[in-house]
Homo-oligomer: A and B are copies of this chain.
Amino acid sequence: MKLFSYWRSLASYRVRIALNLKGVDCDIETIDLLGGDQFEASYRAVNPQPVVPALVDGGTVLFQSLAIVEYLDETRPEPPLLPADPRGRARVRGIAQIASSDTHPLIVPRIRKYLTEDLALSDDELQAWIRRWMGAGLAAMEAHLAAGPGTGRFCHGDRPGLADLCLVPQIVGSRMFGCPMDPYPTAMRIFEACMAVDPIADAHPTKQPDFPADA
C-alpha cells in the first residue's frame, strides 16, 4: 500500500492516523504541495485532482480522505473507526464533516494562494480569514462535543475513531495558524486524550519523514 502524502496536509494527516490505528504498513511518497508536485504529470496519472492524499491499494487508487478512511474501515475492520449503530455513525460522520467540509477546504494552500495572489489580501487579512473559518468549525465541533450524548474520553465513546482523526488535524492546524483555543475546552480535552495514543501521536506532521529540518 502506498500513500501519496505531504507532511503538513491536514487531509493526509487524517489518513495517516487511520492507517496507524489499523496497524497497516504503508509506503509514503511525498507530494510537496507548496512546491507544486501535485501538478506533475506523474501525480496527475495517479489522481486527476491535484490534491493529496491518494492511497494505492493493489490496483486501486483511492482519493478523498474520508472516502479512504471509510474504505480502510470496511476492509480492515479492527479496531472499528465508526460505532455500530446508525445514529452513532451519523453523529461521528457529522462531526468529521464539519472539519472536512465546512472548515479545512477554506484554508488549504490553493485558497491561501488565491487570496494573497489573485485578491492581494494582506497578511492580516489572510490571518483573519483563517481564524474566522477555523474558529467557526471548532465552535460547531465544540457545541456537538460539549452537549452531545455520546461524547466520552474521545469524540464518541472511549475509543478513537473517524471524528477524532478529523478533530486532531483541525486543532494542530488551528494552532499552527495561531488561533485561540480557549473557547473549545471539550475539543481540547479530547485532543489531549488523542495525543496520548501512540498511533495518533506518531501521525503528527513533525514526525513525518518529509518534515523539513528547517521548518
Interface residues of A (CB under 8 A from B): 48-49, 51, 60, 62-64, 66-68, 70-71, 74-75, 86-87, 89-91, 93-94, 96-98, 100-102, 104-106, 111, 114, 118-119, 121, 125, 128-129, 132, 140, 143-144, 147
Contact = CB atoms under 8 A, between A and B. Distances in A.
Contacts of A89: 70-71, 74
B64 A98 contact: yes
**In this complex, which of A63, A94, A98, A143 has the most chain B Cβ atoms within 10 angstroms of its Cβ?**
A94
Contact of A90 (B49, B62, B105, B129): B62
Contacts of A75: 86
**In this complex, which of A91, A111, A121, A132 has the most chain B Cβ atoms within 10 angstroms of its Cβ?**
A91
A40 to B, nearest CB: 15
A74 B90 CA distance: 10
Overall SS of chain A's interface: helix
A100 B98 contact: no
Number of copies of this kind of chain in the complex: 2
A32 B213 CA distance: 50
Nearest to A114: B132
A1 B3 CA distance: 41
A93 B49 CA distance: 15
A128 B64 CA distance: 25
A121 B115 CA distance: 11
